[in-house]
């Protein structure tokens, strides 16, 4: 998926009535929504890792940046989940 396609999906989400409801979510709920959206995006690839790898290997700088940002977000989210489970 290219950055333009992702931007188009984001624009559709922002235009939808559901988007305004996202502003009222807690950080944890918003993180879950983001992860669900990323999982939906990854459904076009054999795995989530394949999606991130594809973006990071793209010749387009915006795709590389997006791949890195997604990878960082997921790593942080997983660390938070492990921390919560350990409590």
Which pLDDT band holds residue 25 (cuts at 50, 70, 90)? confident
Predicted pLDDT at 21? 66
Q: Residue 75 is part of which domain span?
A: 3-86
Give the predicted TM-score (pTM) of the model.
Answer: 0.61
Predicted pLDDT at 10? 79
The total number of structural domains in the chain stands at 1
Which pLDDT band holds residue 23 (cuts at 50, 70, 90)? low
Condensed to tens digits (0 to 9), the pLDDT of residues 70-85 reads 889 888 888 988 998 8
Predicted pLDDT at 62? 92
58-67 long-range contacts (CB < 8 A, ≥24 apart) are 58/2, 60/2, 60/3, 62/3, 63/2, 63/3, 66/3, 66/6
Predicted pLDDT at 9? 82
């Amino acid at each position: 998926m290219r950055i333009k396609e992702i931007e188009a999906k984001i624009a559709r989400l922002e235009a939808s009535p559901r988007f305004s409801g996202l502003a009222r979510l807690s950080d944890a709920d918003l993180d879950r929504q983001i992860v669900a959206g990323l999982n939906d995006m990854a459904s076009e690839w054999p795995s989530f890792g394949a999606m991130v790898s594809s973006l990071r290997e793209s010749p387009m700088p915006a795709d590389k940046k997006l791949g890195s940002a997604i990878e960082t977000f997921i790593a942080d989210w997983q660390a938070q989940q492990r921390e919560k489970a350990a409590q």
